[in-house]
Amino acid sequence: MTLSKWQPFQELSNIRKQMDSLFEDMLSVGDRDWMGLHGIGGMWTPAVELKETDNELVLKAEIPGIDINDLEVEVSEDRVNISGEHKEEESTEDQEKNYFRSEFHYGKFERIVPLPMHIKTDEIKSEFKHGILTLTMPKVKDTPKKSVKVHLEDR
């Protein structure tokens, strides 16, 4: 008998993968997608990364296969809204789609990312390169932190 070291985080990762697989199997109904979470016409959201530097917030969104004309980005002082549509390529040669498997996500999407602080909306820089949208948003300096003293009552 071989002893192996118990790795609790590896066990948690395995459980997460099993749960993901369980929900994918449960939500997937034949060629259709129950609840529209995957597949053709399904709703999906791009993965995002938000980091802070000394003077700005940098948001990156992974949006592969999207034409820049099918992408809309709206930024307010406290949130970023990214929406668009990933359109399936149509060719006259491929009228019958004899796919064995397709895991591409097609259809409309929207992702709202709340920002942890206010930003200057008139100084935002953007870049869309290799399917990665990067927004560089300067932070508002000296934003007063609003705090309210709460009067506690003893009942």
pLDDT at 114: 93
**Rounded Cα distance, 81 and 111, in Å:** 6
Q: Which residues of the chain have pLDDT under 50?
A: 29-42
pLDDT at 85: 87
Encoding tokens for residue 140?
């508002």
pLDDT at 93: 56
pLDDT at 31: 42
What CATH number should be reported for the domain whose range is 44-89+103-142? 2.60.40.790
pLDDT at 104: 77
pLDDT at 35: 45
**Contact (CB, 8 A) for 39 and 33:** yes
pTM above 0.75, yes or no: no
**Rounded Cα distance, 113 and 81, in Å:** 6
pLDDT at 26: 65
pLDDT at 18: 86
**Rounded Cα distance, 44 and 83, in Å:** 10
What is the identity of the amino acid at 11? E
**Rounded Cα distance, 54 and 117, in Å:** 13
pLDDT at 28: 53
**Rounded Cα distance, 17 and 149, in Å:** 45
Token pair 């709202």 is found at: 112
